Amino acid sequence: MDPISLSAALASFAERWSPRIVTAVNDYDVRVAKVEGEHVWHVHDHTDEFFLVLAGELHISLRETAGERTVVLPKGSVFTVPRGTEHKPYAPRATEILVFEPTGTFSVGDRHDEVPDHVDATVGHALA
């Protein structure tokens, strides 16, 4: 195994909302993605979802027991969406993120709204 450059991994594709698997840790995938605009409301019933913003800014709307709120993650910020929490990521401009979740987890969760054409419903793609 050789070191993986995240900048090189991100430079290897152009698609938005289409994560690439850069490595695995035990039974978890480490994925990078380029994002811009809205994702889709979705829920991961059995796993938390970890986000790290590498560049840009990510907003994550959450529907919680106390109501709806949005967290804003500038570059260098991390946030974990707890399992079972309905959420919708949004990037107001081109943003690069790293996501950490169990291998085989769909990018649109276990339950979701209709998936728009610009969102790739995937368990992650291998790097080219």
Average pLDDT over residues 58-80: 97
Residue 36 CA to chain centroid, in angstroms? Answer: 11
Q: What is the dihedral of CA 113, 117, 118, 122, to 10 degrees?
A: 70
pTM over 0.75: yes
Residue 50 CA to chain centroid, in angstroms? Answer: 8
- Least reliable range by pLDDT among 20-29, 49-58, 118-127: 118-127
- At residue 113, the pLDDT reads 86
- At residue 87, the pLDDT reads 97
Average pLDDT over residues 36-63: 97
Q: Answer yes or no: is pLDDT of 14 > 90.
A: yes
- The secondary structure of the chain as a DSSP string is -----HHHHHHT---BS--EEEEEETTEEEEEEEEEEE---EE-SS--EEEEEEESEEEEEEEETTEEEEEEEETT-EEEEPTT-EEEEEEEEEEEEEEEEETT--TT-SEESPPPTTS--SS-EE--
- At residue 122, the pLDDT reads 92
